Structure 1
Amino acid sequence: MKYVNVAIDNNNDNTDNLYTYGLDSEEISIGSKVLVPFARGNKLKNAYVFDIMDSVQEEIKGLKYVNSVDEEICLSKEMIDTCKWMRKRYLCRYIDAVNCFTPVGKPAKSGKKRVPYKDMEGEECSVKNLTEEQDNALRIIKPYISEKKHDIFLIHGVTGSGKTEIYIRLIDSALKNGSNAILMVPEISLTTQVIERFIGRFGQDKIAVLHSRLSLGERYDEWVRIRRGQVRIVIGARSAVFAPLENIGIIIMDEEHESTYKSDMSPKYDTLEVAVKRAKAFEGVVVLGSATPSVISAYRAEQGIYKKIELKQRYNQIALPQVEIVDMREELKLGNKSIFSSALYSGMQKCLEEGQQIILFLNRRGYSTFVSCRECGYVMKCNECGISLTYHKAENAAICHYCGKMEPLPKVCPECGSKYIRHFGTGTEKVEEYTLNMFPDYSAARLDLDTIKVKGSIDKILRDFKKGKTKILIGTQLVAKGLDFKNVGMVGIISADVILNIPDYRAAERTFQLITQAAGRAGRGDKEGKVVIQTYNAEHYSIEAAADQDYDRLYNTELFLRKSMLYPPFSDIVQIIVIAKNQQVCIEGAQKTMKAVQGELSKELSEHIFEPQPLLLNNQKEHYRYYILIKCPKGRRAECLSVIEKIKRKVNTGKKLQYTLTVDINPY
């Protein structure tokens, strides 16, 4: 007889342990999904095998036995090892980590396989001549793939430098070496363009797609195809890092700097860390690509942790676009109160007359950004989430962008009764309306979370723009990332200040990245492109650096500031979140937690704990949230987390549970 340790599929900290069961059957392996009798009622529960043992140290009284084994769902030992690592690194439950690897959905009743993108025709891929820089990148990385030598590479290549062609050839090299590959992109909107190119090069049979916009059935069937070894390449958003592939030779993270690679749901994992963990298990390589690497990645490359490769020229020697900064304060002085500066309007007019297309970028959806009373200053807020509501003209309602709650627009102020209540600010919906008024002879479309709710809508919007049916594309950060359209002659950044003014130590870095990425959509064809940046902070170093395409200036300034303030890469930010239904209980719980952590940590670490503060989304889903921030100097993370884990477990498994704790490491 053998014994197994299993993690029970139960969403509760009290059962977040490994339980030992007896095993009569030999048909089982680490990672098997099993049914086991659990707790006093012996109710059958799903569980996953973490260990198999020939014996146990002490006889177990009342030993229970595995009831049955699911032959379809089985994880590998490498996946289970990754789950164990995730639990320790992110302080999550066993089952939360396991659920990252397991499929959602169910088998199709008809037996037919639901294959996403099955009707997609691959983009015709004539094999391109490589630039000297591309060839050099391949010469450096390929030997690591063929020799199965794990390492991490950072490709810092300007927009349009041909990073995707490098990815294709590296994956081809891995496949020829008998290995498999994962390619991740930060936005689902980018997957279609990427998939078209990869189908054109490798054929559809070798490729699987994983992202959250697939139906549950499609995701289940793709998971099964991958697990059975029927595909060699997995393409998707961050969840693709958990694809059940064996023998992974390369994992590529395109646009590695993007915040979407950090999960904000349990387990709150960092995709890059998981990618490195999984690749290392197979001696595979990790390739990070970006025109605007995160400050942390650039620092790691400088320290020799990553191997850095630079691509300084655009493919075919196309010039980077001309960039003009427009100070909107000066526009106001000249009497221009419209959304478009004179430079942006005249540039758009010229561009359209020459038959080219335009992208307008504003990282704020909706019509107006908030609803307020000019008499008393009242601002409409979501009573579920505590944040200001955004006015949407199409619905004629104020909507919460977090929980989706919709409120009718009041005719008078609910606070003072004044009739002077109206919507203020500008979102993509208003920009679209204004654009169509200013350029009625040209078609425009909007790409944001409001226009892509229907399945397939992203693909249609981008397809129409690619074919030239749409002349002006207006959108949020979805339009700033990775899109490759040859006829875009101009990019207009409506307000560079939206990201700059958020309360985040990365605000300047993210502003630089979004401007540079958006600007990179212009001039990718034969003609030089133009970019107009509108801002009320024309002298800010991140905006000036983005206009000059001067990454080094941004990097050096940020590194100096972060070192002085002990921000990453010189520390790990640990956020302990206290959640309770009652606000006073939440505040008191946060104070107790802070004191408990201070009492356990060394004096040096205790100096870097900050007083509890309400989260930006404080009152969400009828729960209040306060957080305690700890700056852990590099090398002290394990010490800090061991203390927090002990306190978290004590609180979350307590009999009189008034509040709970969650932990987010280096949150976005």
Structure 2
Amino acid sequence: MKYVNVAIDNNNDNTDNLYTYGLDSEEISIGSKVLVPFARGNKLKNAYVFEIMDSVQEEIKGLKYVNSVDEEICLSKEMIDTCKWMRKRYLCRYIDAVNCFTPVGKPAKSGKKRVPYKDMEGEECSVKNLTEEQDNALRNINPYISEKKHDIFLIHGVTGSGKTEIYIRLIDSALKNGSNAILMVPEISLTTQVIERFIGRFGQDKIAVLHSRLSLGERYDEWVRIRRGQVRIVIGARSAVFAPLENIGIIIMDEEHESTYKSDMSPKYDTLEVAVKRVKAFEGVVVLGSATPSVISTYRAEQGIYKKIELKQRYNQIALPQVEIVDMREELKLGNKSIFSSALYSGMQKCLEEGQQIILFLNRRGYSTFVSCRECGYVMKCNECGISLTYHKAENAAICHYCGKMEPLPKVCPECGSKYIRHFGTGTEKVEEYTLNMFPDYSAARLDLDTIKVKGSIDKILRDFKKGKTKILIGTQLVAKGLDFKNVGMVGIISADVILNIPDYRAAERTFQLITQAAGRAGRGDKEGKVVIQTYNAEHYSIEAAADQDYERLYHTELFLRKSMLYPPFSDIVQIIVIAKNQQVCIEGAQKTMKAVQGGLSKELREHIFEPQPLLLNNQKEHYRYYILIKCPKGRRAECLSVIEKIKRKVNTGKKLQYTLTVDINPY
């Protein structure tokens, strides 16, 4: 007889332990999904095997036995090891980590396999001649793949420098070496374009796709194909890092700087950290690519943690687009109160007359960004989440962009009864309406979360733009990243200040990245492109650096500021979130938690604990949220998390549970 230690599929901190069961069957391995009797009622629960033992140190009274083994679902030892690591790294439950690896959905009753993109034709894009920079990148990385030597590479390549071709050839090398590959993109909207290229080079049978816009059935069947070893390449968004592949030789993260690679749901993992952990088990390589690498990644390259490779020229040798900054304050002085500056309008007119296409970027969806009373200053907010509601003209309603709650637009102010309550600000819906009024002879389309609710709508919008049916594409950050259209002659950035005003130490960095990425969509064909950046903050260093394509200026300014303020990469930021149904209980719980943390940490670390504050989304789903922020200087993270883990466990497993704690490390 053997014994197994299993993690129970139970959403409770009190049962976040490994439980020992007896085993009569030999057909079991680490990672097997089993059914076991649990707790006093012996109700059958799903569980996952973490350890198998021939004996136990002391006899277990009332030992229970594994009831059955799931023949279909089984993780590997490497995946279980990663789950153990995640529990320690992110202070999550065993089962939270396991659920990252396991499939959602169920087998089809008909037995028919559901294959996404099965009708997609591969894009013929065979590149025969590489640039000297591309060739140099391959010469640097390929030996590590062929010799199975683990390392991390950062490819810093300007937009249009041919990074995708490098990814394809590196994956080809891994496949020829007997290894498998994962390619991740930050936005689901980018997967179709990437998949077309990969099908054209590798064929459909070798490729699987994993992302949240697939149906549950498609995701289940793709998971099974991957787990059975029927595919060699997995393409997808953040969750693709958990693809149940064996023998991973390379993981590529395109646009590595994107915030979407950081999970904001439990477990609150960093995709890059998980990728490095997984690939290291197979002595594979991690390749990070970006035209605007994060400050942290560039710093790590300077420290020798990553190997940096630069691509400074575009593949087609066309110069980077001309960039013009327009100060909207000056436009107002000249009497122009419209959404478009004179430079943007005249540039669009010229571009359209020459038969080229245009992308307009604004990182705010909806028609107007808030509803306010001009008499008393009242602003409509969501009762559930506490954030400002956005006016959507199509629905004629104010909508919460977090929980989706809709409110009719009031005719008078609920606070003072004034009739002067109006919607203000500009979103993509208003930009689309304005564009169609200004250029009625040209077709326009909008790409944001409101227009892609129906399955397949992303692909249709982008396909129409690619074929030239749509002349002007308006969108949020979905249009700013990775899209490769040859006929885009101009990009207009409607308001560069949107992200700059977010309360986040990365605001300047993210502004630079979005402007640079959006600008990079122009001039990817035979003609030089043009970019117009509209802003009310024309002197800000991030906007000036983006206009000049001067990454070094942005990087060194940010590094200086972060070092003086002890922000990453010079620290890790730990956020402890206190959640309670009663606001006063939440505030008191946050104070108690802060004192407990202070009591456990050394004097040096105590200096970097900040007083509890209400979370931006404070009142959400009938719960209040307050947070405590701790800056852990480099090298002190383990000490800090050790203290927090004990406090979190004590609070969350208490008998009189009035509030709970969650932890987010380096949150966005």
CA distance in 1, matches of 2:127, 2:368: 47
Q: Give the superposition deviation at 1:401.
A: 0.1
Deviation at 1:405? 0.1
Q: What's the offset of the Cα at 1:187?
A: 0.1
Tell me by how many angstroms 1:81 deviates.
0.1
CA distance in 2, matches of 1:127, 1:155: 19
C-alpha distance in 1 between matches for 2:26 and 2:39: 25
Shift of 1:275: 0.1
CA apart distance, 1:394: 0.1
| Secondary structure of 2:451's aligned partner | coil
Structure 2: segments with no counterpart, 5+ residues = none
CA offset digits 1:52-80 (Å, max 9, x no partner): 00111111010000000001000000000
- Return the alpha-carbon distance in structure 2 between the equivalents of residues 55 and 300 of structure 1: 45
Q: Secondary structure at the match of 2:553?
A: helix
Identity %: 99
Q: Distance in 2 between matches of 1:239 and 1:316?
A: 33
2:127 and 2:165 in contact (8 A); partners too: no
Answer whether contact 2:316 2:526 (CA < 8 A) is retained.
Answer: no
In 1, distance between residues paired with 2:441 and 2:125? 35
Q: CA deviation at 1:318?
A: 1.1
* 3-state SS of paired residue (1:403): coil
Q: CA RMSD in A?
A: 0.3
Q: CA offsets, 1:173-232, max 9 Å, x none?
A: 000000000000000000000000000000000000000000000000000000000000
* Deviation of the 1:88 alpha carbon: 0.1
SS in 1 for 2:339: coil
Q: Is the 8 A contact 2:445 2:470 kept in 1?
A: yes
Q: CA offsets, 1:240-261, max 9 Å, x none?
A: 0000000000000000000000
1:286-325 CA-to-partner distances (Å, cap 9, x unmatched) read 0000000000000000000000000000002111000000
Who is 1:614 aligned against? Answer: 614
Give me the whole-angstrom Cα distance separating, in 2, the residues matched to 1:631 and 1:361.
Answer: 35
Q: CA deviation at 1:578?
A: 0.2
- 2:172 partner SS: helix
Q: Which consecutive aligned stretches of 4+ in structure 1 deviate over 4 angstroms post-superposition?
A: none
The answer (yes or no) to whether the contact 2:208–2:231 under 8 Å persists in 1 is: yes
TM (normalized to structure 2)?
A: 1.00
CA offsets 1:613-647 (integer angstroms, 9 cap, x no match):
00000000000000000000000000000000000
In the alignment, does 2:402 pair up with 1:366? Answer: no
3-state SS of the aligned residue for 2:618? strand
What SS is found at the alignment partner of 1:534?
A: strand
SS at the partner of 2:377? Answer: coil
Q: Secondary structure at the match of 1:7?
A: strand
Partner of 1:186: 186
Structure 1: where are the runs of 5+ without partners?
none
Which residue does 1:388 correspond to in 2?
388
> For residues 248 and 560 of structure 1, what CA distance do their matches in structure 2 show?
38
Name the TM-score, length of structure 1 as normaliser: 1.00
- How far is 1:127 from its partner? 3.1
Contact 2:545 2:551 (8 Å CA) reproduced = yes
Moved more, 476-485 or 127-136: 127-136
Deviation, structure 1 residue 126: 2.2
2:316–2:525 Cα contact (<8 Å) kept:
no
User: After the TM superposition, which residues 212-361 of structure 1 pair with which residues of structure 2 at under 5 Å, given as runs?
Assistant: 212-361=212-361
Q: Structure 2 CA distance, aligned partners of 1:4 and 1:110?
A: 35
Quote the Cα distance in structure 2 between the aligned partners of 1:249 and 1:214: 26
CA distance in 2 between counterparts of 1:318 and 1:613 reads: 50
Q: Secondary structure at the match of 2:223?
A: helix
Match of 1:559, SS state, is helix
Please say which of residues 120-129 and 462-471 is displaced more in the overlay. 120-129
SS of the equivalent of 1:296 reads helix
Report the alpha carbon displacement of residue 128 of structure 1 after superposing the two structures with TM.
3.0
Q: How far apart are the structure 2 equivalents of 1:133 and 1:27?
A: 52
Measure the CA separation in 1 of the matches of 2:319 and 2:470.
25
Mapped to 2, the partners of 1:105 and 1:128 lie a distance apart of 42
Residue pair 2:78, 2:278 contacting (<8 A) in 1 also:
yes
Contact residue 364 and residue 427 of structure 2 kept, 8 A: yes
State how far apart, in whole Å, the 2-side matches of 1:316 and 1:378 are. 53
CA-to-partner distance for each residue in 1:369-428, whole Å, 9 max, x for gaps?
000000000000000000000000000000000000000000000000000000000000
Cα deviation code 1:72-120 (max 9, x no counterpart): 0000000000000000000000000000000000000000000000000
- In 2, Cα distance between the equivalents of 1:88 and 1:380? 42
C-alpha contact 2:610 2:630 (8 A) present in aligned 1 = yes
Distance 1:282 1:142 in 2: 16
Q: For 1:163 and 1:129, how far apart are their aligned partners in 2?
A: 14
* CA–CA distance in structure 2, aligned partners of residues 422 and 316 of structure 1: 49
CA distance in 2, matches of 1:537, 1:414: 34
* CA distance in structure 2 between the aligned counterparts of 1:257 and 1:305, rounded to whole angstroms: 16
The separation in 2 between residues aligned to 1:224 and 1:127, in whole angstroms, is: 33
- The 2-side partners of 1:128 and 1:476 are apart by 35
2:35 maps to what in 1? 35
2: CA distance between counterparts of 1:523 and 1:136? 25
* Residues 79-118 of structure 1 mapped to structure 2, 5 A cutoff: 79-118=79-118
CA distance in 1, matches of 2:265, 2:471: 38
User: What is the alpha-carbon distance in structure 1 between the residues aligned to residue 383 and residue 122 of structure 2?
Assistant: 48
Give the secondary-structure state (helix, strand or coil) at the position aligned to 1:618: coil
CA offset digits 1:16-63 (Å, max 9, x no partner) = 000000000000000000000000000000000000001111110100
Q: Structure 1 residue 575: deviation in Å?
A: 0.1
Number of the residue aligned with 1:583: 583
The superposition leaves residues 321-352 of structure 1 with CA deviations (integer Å, 9 ceiling, x where unpaired) of 00000000000000000000000000000000
